[in-house]
Amino acid sequence: MEYKNIIIKIEDSIAFLIISRPKALNALNSDVLSELECALYDLENNNDVKCIIITGDGDKAFVAGADIKEMLGMDAIAAAAFAKKGHRIIRFIRKMQKPVIAAVNGYALGGGFELALACDIIYASENAKLGFPEVTLGIMPGFGGTQNLVRVCGEKVANELIFTGKMISAVRAKELNVVCEVLKDKDSLMEKALETAKKIAFNSPKGVAFAKNAILTGVNMNLSEALDYESTLFGLLFNTEDQKEGMSAFVEKRKAEFKGK
């Protein structure tokens, strides 16, 4: 697929997926969603990629939401197709074996905040502003925002943010455990995201993928079932080459070279 609204760069096993519609503050229209879906699928199946960083082009916005101008003209059929595409992306990111880091620069609003919340790790620059303005537009968050925010910050905070539509700063988002770290500017944001991605890429892809699965699946189970699930995945890792390589490398006092098999 030819990309017109996103840029993909792959360097040293790390993929950068840059959403690039700067004139519309990187708002998500149907074309962006189609390109995002296709790119994420390709990156998940690309053996040269171990971790993905999603960011927005420019300093002003990560993603300022779904495209309001496109949504204004949608009928129920078009809106349903748009919603399905968005949901497929959010679900796919959660199910991907490879970790996805959101590097939030500037506005992350509505669908943009939801995209970031679907990612495994969020870093933000000091100028980031995050929020759900949907209720000011006569709708509600619909790309997983109501479900993912409540799981991160709890019901009362999610209620306040979603019912008021107010924006919060990166520092407040860090206090609420939405963001892992706040960085001074876009350069330091990207450096931090890359540093983390490189650390992840150095580790066992199978270990990382199974841990992601255990965390995301287990959170919807009761603790007893979740612990059983964790032990099953833990056991399965002993059937992988990564486990043999990681433990052999330790015993042989050398660096492990994982193949993700």
Q: Give residues in contact with ligand DAK (CB under 6 A).
A: 24-25, 27, 64-69, 79, 82-83, 86, 107, 109-111, 133-134, 137, 142-143
| Placement of tokens 């990166």 in the chain | 170
Residue 106 CA to its chain's centroid (Å)? 16
Quote the least distance from Cβ 163 to ligand DAK, whole Å: 15
Quote the least distance from Cβ 100 to ligand DAK, whole Å: 18
User: Is 134 a residue of the active site?
Assistant: yes
C-beta closer to ligand DAK: residue 99 or 144: 144
> Which ranges constitute the DSSP H helices of the chain?
30-44, 68-72, 76-95, 111-118, 145-153, 155-164, 170-175, 186-202, 205-218, 223-236, 241-251
Residue 159 CA to its chain's centroid (Å)? 22
C-beta closer to ligand DAK: residue 130 or 153: 130
What DSSP character marks residue 57? S
C-beta closer to ligand DAK: residue 133 or 205: 133
Quote the least distance from Cβ 125 to ligand DAK, whole Å: 15
Quote the least distance from Cβ 66 to ligand DAK, whole Å: 3
Nearest residue by C-beta to ligand DAK?
A: 110
Quote the least distance from Cβ 80 to ligand DAK, whole Å: 7
134, 160, 175, 241: the catalytic one is 134
Two tokens, residue 12: 């040293």
DSSP output for 159-222: HHHHHH--EEEHHHHHHTTS-SEEESSHHHHHHHHHHHHHHHHHS-HHHHHHHHHHHHHHTTS-
User: Is 245 a residue of the active site?
Assistant: no
| Placement of tokens 């209620």 in the chain | 159
Residue 211's φ and ψ, nearest 5 degrees, are -65, -40
114, 126, 160, 225: the catalytic one is 114
> Which ranges constitute the DSSP H helices of 96-110?
none
C-beta closer to ligand DAK: residue 64 or 117: 64
Quote the least distance from Cβ 48 to ligand DAK, whole Å: 32
C-beta closer to ligand DAK: residue 22 or 228: 22
CA distances from 113 to 61, 72, 187, 222, 242 (A): 11, 20, 21, 28, 35
Taking a C-beta distance cutoff of 8 angstroms, is the pair 182, 171 a contact? yes
- Under 8 Å CB-to-CB from 191, ≥6 apart: which residues? 183
What residues are labeled active site? 114, 134
